[in-house]
A = this chain, B = another copy of it.
């Protein structure tokens, strides 16, 4: 993926991570791995951590430190009520955008 794809992630990545957390709690390293498995091979690790710091500061998630058998303790993030709301907002905005763009794509042919 090129620079264009990177730009397109802005704002969207937060929604993606919140959506992942909506299915079950997870920690940063795990989320990064999962994203890579799902095809987002170029997502920088630092990006995910920075994003998690942001959503924590905005109180969209609850955090719990859990010791790991291998390596330093994990910070497990759980989506809270505010996070749910934010996620809903994301889906609304996404649907809006996707609809118009799909229209453009059709109209172009």
Contact = CB atoms under 8 A, between A and B. Distances in A.
Interface of A: 1-2, 4-12, 14-16, 19-20, 22-23, 38-40, 86, 89-91, 93-94, 96-98, 100-101, 103-105, 107-108
Nearest to A13: B7
A11 B4 contact: yes
Contact of A105 (B5, B11, B14, B91): B91
5 contacts: A4-B14, A7-B10, A16-B100, A20-B104, A22-B108
Contacts of A1: 93
Given A7-B11, A19-B104, 12 more contacts: A2-B93, A4-B11, A4-B89, A5-B11, A5-B96, A6-B11, A8-B10, A8-B12, A15-B101, A23-B108, A39-B100, A94-B101
